[in-house]
Structure 1
Amino acid sequence: MTSKTPENQKLDVPPPYNAVARHGVSAEPNHDEIARFNFLANFNKFMASELSPGNKLAYDKRVLPAFQKTHGREPKDRFEIRHAMNDDPFHRFWSALKRNSMEMRQQNGRAMVLRQIDEINAKARQFNEGRDTLELHPEIEIPRYQSAVDIHCMPGSYHGEELPGDVSAGANYDCGIFATTGGGLGALTDGGGQALVKWIRETRPGWEPRRVLDIGTTVGHNIVPLALAFPNCEFIAIDTAAPILRYAHARAQSLGATNIRFIQANAEDLSRWDDGTFDWVQTTMFLHETSGKALPKILAEGYRVLADDGLMLHLEQPEYSDEMPLYEQFIRDWDAFNNNEPFWSSMHALDMKDEMVSAGFDRSELFETGVRAVVDTEIFPQSDTEEGEDHGRAAFWHAYGAWKNRDELQEAAE
């Protein structure tokens, strides 16, 4: 998941924070907390729509001409643009605002959660205790790439605990996404999962996977819609952080998604599962939070446990190809250097097709597509198109996928 505003998201008016849907372990905001999140949602919208274009203006009018004069050439990569832009007063101003908006989101969410931490933990225990669908393994170490920084500026990151058996990390993560994305992921911030349900039903009508693996599940907001859409399928959702999993399990149980097993595991080693165990292996805005050493291992293990005719699908933002202008690469790179996303830049510089071939896929099995969130008409009642899809407000992701040995199986059947 993802706490960043997804690719190409444009919002006219962010819905009020009290449009957030409640579930069994939701933190309950008071008047002032709602007001702060409403301010932040509108502040983020203002920065994206009104202030952000000023970066391109500063680059075209000041930074690029100065660079050309000094060096006698165009910038050769996004890093040269970043170093030049970091000296520009407008870009420094915009960056400071953007960084502070994320810190304010985290601090407001954290204060809201800590104010009622005993109540939230108690609610989670009601859904977690005595159920075999939550499996924690304290021996699982938090990878260095997860523990080195507080990802997304979230204090304690995903694995921080305030109390034994705590779920505060998950509660904080959950309550702030709505404000950061301006509601573009829906009232339950499950737009990614809803998008996957719609995509798979349009792409392969009638397909019924038997077992699905969701890697880096965080609070489970992307897997719950799939579990509800395929009630006869077994879902395995893994993460390395116990607090996140406790919250995710309780959240899913309260929403009726009882066919998900949440297991503490590291995706670099899936040896507890046999070859070909899963019909679908997926991640949603997760790969950019892994290291250069971990990512190939995760892809290779995912390939191993994927059954023939199975689907591997990774939702991310687009890679930095030669077709993407250097300025766009630079502005997309902002999170890597300013939002505690240290692997964002290097991951998006990879050729994901090459990475998936190295993991075991044949190049002919690969595909790329776009996956668009299903618009939440409860909070965005007005539609921009006759088809009923509000494409100005719906979040959009780039997807890297593959069907394992599907053509070979079809040929054998014929």
Structure 2
Amino acid sequence: MSKRDDIPPAYHNVAQHGVFPVASHDERARFNFLANLNKHVAMALGPGNAKAYERRVLPAFRAEHGREPKDRFEIRHAMNADPYHRFWSALKRNNMEMRQQNGRSMVIRQLGELNARARQWNEGRDTLELDPGVAVPRYQAAVDIHCMPGSYHGEVVPGDVSAGANYDCGIFVTTGGGLGALSDGGGQALVKWIARERPGWVPKRILDIGTTIGHNAVPLAVAFPDSEVIAIDTAAPSLRYGHARAQSMGVRNIRFVQANAEELGRFPDGHFDWVQTTMFLHETSGKALPRIIDESYRLLSDGGLMFHLEQPAYTDDMPLFEQFMRDWDAFNNNEPFWSAMHALDLPAVFRRAGFADADLFEAKVRAVVDTSVFPSHREEEVEDFGRAAVWHAYGAWKNSASLRMAAE
């Protein structure tokens, strides 16, 4: 049997899964406009910020202070007074708000039908485990992350899937469809990376932390049909939707579990061969993040992989202006922990959790791009936020050095 034949039939060439919201003509037109506006703001208008900084803001700062800016925060304060940056920033923020509101209104219009379709895939299955005793952490509940009303955990009616449905259709718009019809280009990148780095390796159990609706976990379940994938999150509406989504695509070896990654006593030590997150750590607080890493270390088997995909850290090698631009989400897109997390020394956090220096590694991972949408995409292209995300991976193979020495 070929690898292609191992993929569930419902996953072949799928354009939409069984619980994706159905857009009307006007809703589709708005989404098309907002997706293209988002790309225009990023690619055509974005470079104007650098020109405004070099030609007006930086000379004015030098004249006033007699020195260069000392950090990204001084640049932000100065740039926020510049009319071009204010215009660009307002346009970017309003684009996000309009995207969220269009998705929300579309979901609410058909929420009864969406809930009914989700129940058909969820009821009576032991692969969805919800626990009302799991509280949404304050760092998740205090703001509407990404400007999404109700964030990942909000409900319009009790027991609904509204948050997951809004997130699913919204992320497709934000990426302009570049991550594929299922917006799973991140998960596909994980599959591609592990196939290259550890060919033939088959983990018994994989833990995906902060899964939301499983965009990045489902491709792992498909790539490793004999593995058990556990996808956890604290947000019940996202889990209901994510489980129904996976089931409708015929993916059966994945469980969606409501749990807080800071304390996973339900799983024994060394239970997983792969523990990972994708663009999740920046949504956790400074206190929660090390606890999650501690649990990741405890849960990981010897020789197992811990893998966290994020944007690059703010190192001394990164220009301050680039740090400022990357920090935009922290102050304008309801990502309150973004700035602090990207200034964090993650390898040091990993070492405190128990990983040895020889276990640690960093890597670049490019999202798998839908070439039918972006036919000119090439692997060697530099990072382009308007087309394809390039993540910075922080990883570790637990006790890898000691295991090699024992084998020798």
Equivalent in 36, 41, 62 of residue 68 of structure 1: 62
Corresponding residue for 1:7? Answer: none
Corresponding residue for 1:270? Answer: 264
Secondary structure of 1:309 counterpart: strand
Structural mapping, 1:55-204, within 5 Å: 55-204=49-198
Gaps of 5+ in 1: 1-18
How has the CA–CA distance of structure 1 residues 339 and 279 changed in structure 2, closer, same or farther, with 3 Å as cutoff? Answer: same
**Distance in 1 separating the partners of 2:369 and 2:172:** 14
**Distance in 2 separating the partners of 1:218 and 1:129:** 19
Corresponding residue for 2:27? Answer: 33
- Contact 1:187 1:379 (C-alpha < 8 Å) held by counterparts: no
Q: After alignment, is 341-350 or 254-263 more displaced?
A: 254-263
Corresponding residue for 1:206? Answer: 200
Corresponding residue for 2:293? Answer: 299
Superposition CA RMSD, Å = 1.6
Equivalent in 227, 233, 250 of residue 256 of structure 1: 250
**Distance in 1 separating the partners of 2:368 and 2:308:** 18
**Distance in 1 separating the partners of 2:109 and 2:130:** 26
Q: Per-residue displacement from partner, 1:279-320 (whole Å, max 9, x unpaired)?
A: 000000000000000000000001100000000000000000
- Contact 1:142 1:240 (C-alpha < 8 Å) held by counterparts: yes
Shift in Å, 1:179: 1.1
Q: Per-residue displacement from partner, 1:128-154 (whole Å, max 9, x unpaired)?
A: 000000001101111000000000000
Q: Quick one: which amino acid aligns to residue 401 of structure 1?
A: G
**Distance in 1 separating the partners of 2:381 and 2:357:** 33
Equivalent in 259, 279, 289 of residue 283 of structure 2: 289
Q: TM-score, normalised by structure 2?
A: 0.94
**Distance in 1 separating the partners of 2:344 and 2:30:** 38
- Contact 1:384 1:391 (C-alpha < 8 Å) held by counterparts: no
Shift in Å, 1:374: 2.0
Corresponding residue for 1:321? Answer: 315
Q: Per-residue displacement from partner, 1:255-301 (whole Å, max 9, x unpaired)?
A: 12111111100000011111100000000000000000000000000
Identity %: 73
- Contact 2:203 2:227 (C-alpha < 8 Å) held by counterparts: yes
- Contact 2:358 2:401 (C-alpha < 8 Å) held by counterparts: no
Secondary structure of 1:311 counterpart: strand
Secondary structure of 2:349 counterpart: helix
Secondary structure of 1:121 counterpart: helix
Secondary structure of 1:174 counterpart: helix
Secondary structure of 1:356 counterpart: helix
Q: Quick one: which amino acid aligns to residue 29 of structure 1?
A: A
How has the CA–CA distance of structure 1 residues 295 and 384 changed in structure 2, closer, same or farther, with 3 Å as cutoff? Answer: closer
- Contact 2:310 2:392 (C-alpha < 8 Å) held by counterparts: yes
**Distance in 2 separating the partners of 1:71 and 1:250:** 57
Q: Per-residue displacement from partner, 1:365-402 (whole Å, max 9, x unpaired)?
A: 1100011122323434x3455x8999864332111000
Secondary structure of 1:280 counterpart: strand
Secondary structure of 2:202 counterpart: coil
Q: Quick one: which amino acid aligns to residue 117 of structure 2?
A: K
Shift in Å, 1:85: 0.6
Corresponding residue for 1:334? Answer: 328
- Contact 1:216 1:286 (C-alpha < 8 Å) held by counterparts: yes
Corresponding residue for 1:6? Answer: none
Q: TM-score, normalised by structure 1?
A: 0.93
1:366 aligns with 2:360: yes
Secondary structure of 2:392 counterpart: strand
- Contact 1:375 1:390 (C-alpha < 8 Å) held by counterparts: no
Secondary structure of 2:277 counterpart: strand
